[in-house]
């Protein structure tokens, strides 16, 4: 009898263990991702500076991939559905690629970044512009954009063809405006394909879904390779409203014409910049050690920037953060933390446009809006300025009102997404006085930072702010 009970007990254990194994097998999702390999994931919602718009951030740090997805959430479920569908489809496409490239990803990590910008257009009307970047195989990865025009008050999406008077004559004129802009652009002209733009404008299935509005401009944002070579990235052409008004319906002429500019920014007095610069300089102790300046562009990022700040603390290093105004607007608390830790606040414009393609007023707005956002977040003006792409000329220098700070070492972190390659570039090029360019929006840059900091410390370098470096 006892032997029988023992056998039943042993069989029960085997059944239990088998059930656990089966359960784990079932849990391996349709994309082939084993939950036992998962490291961490989080999802949170924060209020934005825009009425009726919250920000959802989903961050996953898995064994084979990193995923950071940010999207707006409205009170109205109908509005949320369209954006949720887009985000879900983007994530599914990425995870399918991860599944299909398991061998490659044994030694590499895939990455998906979905971010967005909000542009107020008129009362309760916003342009939501998504940037989708995924890297699974290949250095350059996949880049695309998606535009949503949202009327929060009426709980509806706005179609671009509801804004435009779309006919053959107007298409011809819009083509001419875009053609002139591309051919006159220092950034895009060498890579521009005139015939592709002509085919795009003449395509009867083209409903201008890549067009969005701000309160002063109409912007066409093309996908990579759509009308230019890949080296041009995702080109963006901005046309002032007054040059585009003849193509707008009467309803939209009225909406855009009566909108009152309520967010006028004052150019920070020069004396203020000088005082803030002096204050930043006084934070650094002058030494005879070799000095370099670590700089981070395109942030802040809700996860990566926080990790970078902790690493900088660990190695007693200071850095300069060249921040985008639209991201400062989303994450003011992170900007406040950057300032509180003694790092330098830098202006990288509001929306990362090539300033050499803009008018004086547009340049001023890009810079001043960002100055104000940083001031609102920290109580301090930024002390340094870096134009996107390092693109500047005499007009940019004058209109921005701030001298441009470029770099002497480009780690190419945005291109390689390879911590070892980033470290190698620093090792091969660093010298006393180097200004090192990185981006705090990439998880792979965070991975590279500690080896970089360790190497610099071993070689006797002190990491200081740009202003402190320039003072010597």
Most confident of 159-168, 280-289, 354-363: 159-168
- Would residue 340 count as lying in a domain? yes
The pLDDT of residue 413: 92
Long-range contacts of 449-452 (CB under 8 A, 24+ apart): 449/308, 449/311, 450/311, 450/314, 450/315, 451/419, 451/423, 452/294, 452/422, 452/423, 452/426
How many structural domains does the chain have?
3
* Section 71-84 average pLDDT: 92
The pLDDT of residue 424: 97
User: Exactly one of 297, 329, 354, 440 is catalytic; which is it?
Assistant: 297
Q: Tell me: the pLDDT tens digits for 239-261? A: 988 889 999 999 999 888 644 34
* Residue 348 annotated to the active site: no
The pLDDT of residue 233: 79
The pLDDT of residue 242: 86
Q: Is 391 exposed, middle or buried (0-12, 13-18, 19+ CB in 10 A)?
A: middle
CATH number at residue 201: 3.90.640.20
455 in the same domain as 369: yes
The pLDDT of residue 361: 87
- Would residue 150 count as lying in a domain? no
* Section 396-412 average pLDDT: 95
CATH number at residue 378: 3.20.20.370
Q: Tell me: the pLDDT tens digits for 308-361? A: 999 999 999 999 999 999 899 888 999 999 999 999 999 999 988 889 888 888
Which is nearest to 228 in space by CA: 182, 259, 291? 182
CA dist 299 and 301 (Å) reads 5
The pLDDT of residue 392: 92
Tokens 């970078």 belong to residue: 308
Whole-number mean pLDDT of the chain?
Answer: 85
| Residue 51 pLDDT level (bands cut at 50, 70, 90) | confident
- For 2-16, 206-220, 247-261, which range has the lowest pLDDT when averaged over its residues? 2-16
* Residue 439 annotated to the active site: yes
Question: 10 Å Cβ neighbour count for 262?
Answer: 7
370 in the same domain as 230: no
Q: Biggest alpha carbon distance in the chain?
A: 97
Residue at which a domain ends, from 138, 170, 193:
138
The pLDDT of residue 5: 54
Would the pLDDT of 20 be above 70? no
314 in the same domain as 228: no
Residue environment code for 326-348, b if the CB has 16+ CB neighbours within 10 A, otherwise e: bbbbbbbebbebbbeeebbbbbb
The pLDDT of residue 67: 87
278 in the same domain as 247: no
Which structural domain range is residue 282 located in? 270-471
Would the pLDDT of 170 be above 80? yes
Residue at which a domain ends, from 216, 235, 258:
258
**Which segments of 283-383 does DSSP mark as H helices, in order?**
304-314, 325-330, 332-340, 360-378
Identify the bridge partners of residue 463 per DSSP, sorted by sequence position: 292
226 in the same domain as 97: no
Q: Sign (positive/negative) of CA torsion 443, 445, 451, 456?
A: negative
| Residue 271 pLDDT level (bands cut at 50, 70, 90) | very low
117 or 316: whose pLDDT is higher?
A: 316
Would the pLDDT of 281 be above 80? no
* Section 447-460 average pLDDT: 97
Three-class DSSP category at 62: strand
183 in the same domain as 317: no
Find out whether the peptide bond into 300 is cis, omega within 30 degrees of 0: yes
User: Exactly one of 301, 439, 440, 442 is catalytic; which is it?
Assistant: 439
404 in the same domain as 276: yes
The pLDDT of residue 297: 96
Q: Sign (positive/negative) of CA torsion 86, 92, 96, 99?
A: positive
Would the pLDDT of 286 be above 70? no
């Amino acid at each position: 009898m006892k032997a029988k009970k023992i056998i039943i007990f042993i069989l029960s254990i085997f059944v239990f263990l088998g059930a656990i194994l089966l359960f784990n097998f079932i849990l391996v999702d349709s994309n082939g991702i084993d939950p036992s390999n998962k490291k961490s994931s989080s999802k949170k919602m924060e209020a934005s500076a825009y009425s009726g718009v919250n920000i959802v951030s989903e961050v996953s740090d898995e064994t084979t991939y990193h995923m950071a997805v940010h999207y707006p959430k409205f009170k109205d479920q109908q509005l949320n559905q369209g954006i949720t569908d887009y985000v879900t489809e983007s994530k599914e496409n990425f995870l399918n690629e991860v599944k299909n490239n398991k061998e490659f990803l044994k030694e590499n990590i895939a990455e998906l970044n979905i971010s967005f910008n909000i542009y107020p257009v008129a009362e309760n009307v916003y342009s939501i512009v998504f940037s989708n970047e995924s890297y699974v195989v290949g250095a350059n990865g996949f880049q695309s954009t998606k535009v949503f025009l949202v009327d929060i008050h009426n709980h509806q999406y706005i179609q671009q063809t509801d804004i435009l008077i779309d006919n053959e004559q107007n298409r011809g004129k819009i083509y001419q405006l875009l053609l002139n802009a591309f051919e006159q652009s220092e950034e895009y002209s060498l890579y521009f394909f005139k015939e592709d733009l002509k085919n795009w404008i003449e395509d009867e299935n083209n409903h201008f879904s890549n067009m969005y509005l701000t309160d002063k401009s109409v912007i066409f944002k093309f996908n990579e390779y759509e009308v230019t070579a890949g080296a041009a990235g995702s080109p963006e052409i901005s046309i002032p409203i007054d040059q585009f008004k003849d193509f707008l319906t009467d309803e939209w002429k009225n909406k855009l014409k009566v909108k009152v500019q309520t967010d006028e920014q004052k150019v920070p007095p020069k004396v203020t910049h000088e005082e803030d610069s002096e204050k930043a300089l006084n934070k650094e102790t002058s030494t005879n050690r070799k000095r370099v300046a670590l700089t981070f562009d395109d942030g802040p990022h809700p996860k990566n920037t926080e990790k970078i700040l902790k690493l900088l603390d660990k190695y007693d290093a200071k850095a300069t953060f060249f921040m985008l105004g639209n991201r400062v607007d989303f994450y003011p608390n992170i900007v406040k933390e950057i300032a509180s830790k003694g790092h330098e606040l830098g202006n990288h414009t509001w929306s990362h446009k090539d300033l050499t393609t803009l008018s004086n007023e547009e340049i001023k707005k890009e810079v001043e809006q960002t100055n104000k956002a940083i001031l609102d977040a920290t109580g301090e003006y930024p002390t340094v300025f870096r134009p996107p792409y390092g693109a500047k000329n005499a007009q940019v220098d004058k209109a921005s009102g701030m001298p441009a700070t470029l770099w002497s070492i480009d780690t190419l972190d945005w291109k390689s997404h390879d911590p070892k390659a980033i470290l190698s570039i620093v090792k091969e090029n660093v010298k006393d006085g180097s200004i090192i360019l990185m981006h705090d929006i990439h998880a792979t840059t965070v991975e590279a930072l500690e080896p970089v900091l360790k190497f610099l410390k071993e070689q006797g370098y002190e990491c200081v702010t740009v202003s402190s470096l320039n003072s010597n």
